[in-house]
Structure 1
Amino acid sequence: MIKYLLNKMLISMQKKYDYDVTYMQDILSTDLNAFFKYLKFQSMAGYRGGLPAAPLYAARLRAILWDDCGPCTQLLVNMALEAGVPANQISAIVNKDLAALPDELAQIVEFTDLVLAHDPDADDIRPHIRAMWGEQGLIAIAFGISSCRVYPALKYTLGYGKACSRVVVNEQTLTPSDKNRSVTG
């Protein structure tokens, strides 16, 4: 009965976001304990630390783009739109168009890319992030960066990784590419 209810939850997510949940369904049908571990991870991934939606999704989107350029990215775009992040900001985050972003978002985009590249220049931006969003905000950004990298790794490991695809932000179609990983922009 519990598997049935959890599967209904997954199907609801699939319908809401037009997102393939087969990998989660396979985990659920194979090992209920493993699925519960997965759900516990969702708790960390959902931590906001009082951060507004735009900076949180700036970090999450840049992190997901590092490892995925397909369905996971589209899912985050849809969630960011649902959370009220303006479409023009989402497009600028995906395209790494720092000039089109407010300074606080541009700093998070740049910081996230530097962190993902293990570039020590992230140390220069971290104090600004702390000043803007506090220690809890920095933790939320850290959790957002870290957790977004898990999903593509999990999906690719289980054989559900997808090739690059276009990302749609409202009516605008974007094509993420390796240039979006560039630390120097």
Structure 2
Amino acid sequence: MIRYAFNKMLLAFKRRYNYDVGYQQDILQADLSAFLKFMGLQTMSAHTGKLPTGPLYAARLRAIIWDDCGPCTQLVVNMALEAGLDPALVRALIDRDLQHLPAELVLVVRFTEQVLAHNPEADELREQIRALWGDKGLIAIGFAISSYRVYPALKYALGYGKACSRIQVNESFLTPTRESALAEGAGGV
């Protein structure tokens, strides 16, 4: 009965976002205990810490793009648009077009990339984030960075990884930019 209820929830998610939930259904059918643990991850990844939508999705999008450029990224784009993030900002985040992002989103993009690269330059950026949004905001960004990377890794591990694809933002199609400030050299935004 519980598997039926969870599967119904997964199918509703699939319809809402046009997203393949097959890997989640496989986990549910193979190991209910593992699926319940996976649901715990869902709770972590949904945490907002009352962070504004822009910084939250800047971290989520740049983290997911670090490891994926296909269906997982499209899902996060759809969620960002549903949450009311301006499509122009979503496009700029996908393209890593820092000139068209507000300073606070540039900060989150740079911080996310430095954290993912294990670069000590994240320390200075962390303090700027803490000054803007406090410890709760920093935790929300940390949860976004760490939890959003799990989904593509898990999908690839279970054989559901997909090749890179173009991402749709309303009527526009984009190829995610995976380069970072690390590739551009030190010091620049």
TM-score range, shorter chain: over 0.9
Q: TM-score, normalised by structure 1?
A: 0.96
Q: TM-score, normalised by structure 2?
A: 0.94
Secondary structure at the counterpart of residue 159 of structure 1: coil
Secondary structure at the counterpart of residue 164 of structure 1: coil
Shift of 1:178: 3.7
Shift of 1:171: 0.8
Greater than 3 Å deviation, 4+ residue runs: none
Q: How does 1:112-151 map onto structure 2 within 5 Å?
A: 112-151=112-151
State the AA in 2 paired with 1:25.
Q
Q: Percent identity?
A: 59
Partner residue, 1:96: 96
Partner residue, 1:26: 26
Work out whether residues 62 and 109 of structure 2, in 8 Å CA contact, stay in contact via their aligned partners in 1: yes
Shift of 1:177: 4.2
State the AA in 2 paired with 1:85.
L
Taking the aligned partners of 2:41 and 2:135, their CA distance within structure 1 comes to 21
Shift of 1:182: 4.5
Q: How does 1:4-19 map onto structure 2 within 5 Å?
A: 4-19=4-19
State the AA in 2 paired with 1:66.
W
State the AA in 2 paired with 1:86.
D
Taking the aligned partners of 1:5 and 1:178, their CA distance within structure 2 comes to 38
1:39-78 superposed Cα distances (whole Å, 9 cap, x missing partner): 0111111111110111101001000000000000000000
Taking the aligned partners of 2:164 and 2:181, their CA distance within structure 1 comes to 17
Taking the aligned partners of 1:28 and 1:182, their CA distance within structure 2 comes to 39
Q: CA RMSD in A?
A: 1.1
